[in-house]
Amino acid sequence: MYKLIKALDSKFGFDQAKAHCDVPCGIYDPIVAQISALTVVRMMDLMAALEGEGVAFNNSMTRYITVKEKHAEQAKHEIRVIWGDFIKPDHLAQYPELTELVHNIMQLGSKARQTADREVGVALVEAINQFAEIFWAIKGVKTKKAKAPYAPELEMVYPDL
């Protein structure tokens, strides 16, 4: 099949599609990472508040841990995609702290998976908020800070549209 397409291409000169990223340009937004980080803290809070023993306790704790793990990894994934597909060398020149910040987010996301330490979860939210501020500045969009309208009601960075 490949040989046939290559032969047809050499004869007819098909237009070649090119893309430089995984998703259409401009469809990047750190909000998924931010919500995922908030979810990590929420699950840590629910884990700390859970009382009891037995099957019901084990079921709830297992669910909280599973969700915490999933969302910590989701936060890391979302930042990696923006880092790898959107951030360019000129962005790094303008915001040289980005490299260390992204590395810190990766480390915090891993630590949030390993522990139930709320301070680690809050630090993850704060680091991703810093990333969001820089991201929106690169896009030329002003930001605002406001408390999330749901538990754990931490301060978030939003585009000020």
8-state DSSP, 144: E
Judge whether 98 lies within some domain: yes
Judge whether 125 lies within some domain: yes
pLDDT tens digits for 93-124? 999 999 999 999 999 999 999 999 999 999 99
Q: How many Å apart are CA 154 and CA 149, to the nearest integer? A: 9
pLDDT tens digits for 48-100? 999 999 999 999 999 999 999 999 999 999 999 999 999 999 999 999 999 99
Judge whether 160 lies within some domain: no
pLDDT tens digits for 25-43? 568 999 999 999 999 999 9
Judge whether 62 lies within some domain: yes
CATH at 73: 1.20.120.400
Please tell me whether residue 160 adopts helix, strand or coil conformation.
coil
The domain containing residue 102 runs over which residues? 29-142
pTM of the complete model:
0.85
Length of the chain in residues, anyone? 161
Q: How many Å apart are CA 56 and CA 62, to the nearest integer? A: 10
Judge whether 92 lies within some domain: yes
Q: How many Å apart are CA 112 and CA 140, to the nearest integer? A: 31
8-state DSSP, 157: E
